[in-house]
């Protein structure tokens, strides 16, 4: 049986139905599910999903799922507008450019428009695990 999750990218107002089993993605402009289901980043070379599961937050990257725990080392390096997100334990490294929407308006702080920044800043906090852990 295929495993699906719907993800949102608020920066580009797009949604993705990710088939984790088959490593396939369908993109669209209106959500098909109600409530929070997860987030994603994509550019021309990279796709990363972050979503809640019964056992806590998971990252989907290059066809694999990875658990996020406070013990995992997550790094974010910045050099002017260039960014590098790294999880050494999982051999994940993503180079990307600072969001064009950073400081766009009063609601466009870095944690609101940069998934990797938000993840790096919050993955050791209880609120993060409450949001990214499904309740039965």
Measured between its terminal Cα atoms, the distance across the chain in Å is: 20
Provide the pLDDT for residue 111. 62
Calpha distance 104→47 (Å, rounded): 24
Question: Using CA atoms, how far apart are residues 94 and 12, in angstroms rounded to an integer?
Answer: 18
Strand ranges inside 1-136, DSSP E = 4-9, 14-19, 24-28, 39-42, 47-51, 58-61, 64-67, 75-79, 82-87, 92-97
Average pLDDT over residues 75-91: 95
In the chain, how many H helices and how many E strands?
3, 10
Computed over every residue of the chain, the mean pLDDT equals 90
């Amino acid at each position: 049986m295929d495993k699906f999750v719907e993800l949102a990218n608020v920066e580009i107002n797009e949604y993705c139905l990710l088939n984790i089993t088959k490593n396939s993605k369908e993109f669209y402009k209106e959500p098909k599910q109600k409530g929070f289901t997860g987030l994603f980043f994509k550019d021309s070379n990279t796709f990363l999903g972050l979503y809640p599961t019964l056992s806590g937050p998971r990252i989907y990257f290059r066809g694999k799922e990875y658990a996020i725990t406070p013990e995992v080392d997550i790094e974010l390096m910045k050099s002017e507008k260039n960014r590098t997100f790294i999880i050494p334990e999982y051999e994940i490294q993503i180079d990307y450019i600072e969001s064009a929407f950073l400081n766009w308006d009063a609601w466009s702080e870095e944690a609101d428009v940069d998934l990797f920044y938000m993840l790096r800043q919050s993955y050791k906090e209880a609120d993060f695990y409450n949001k990214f852990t499904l309740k039965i």
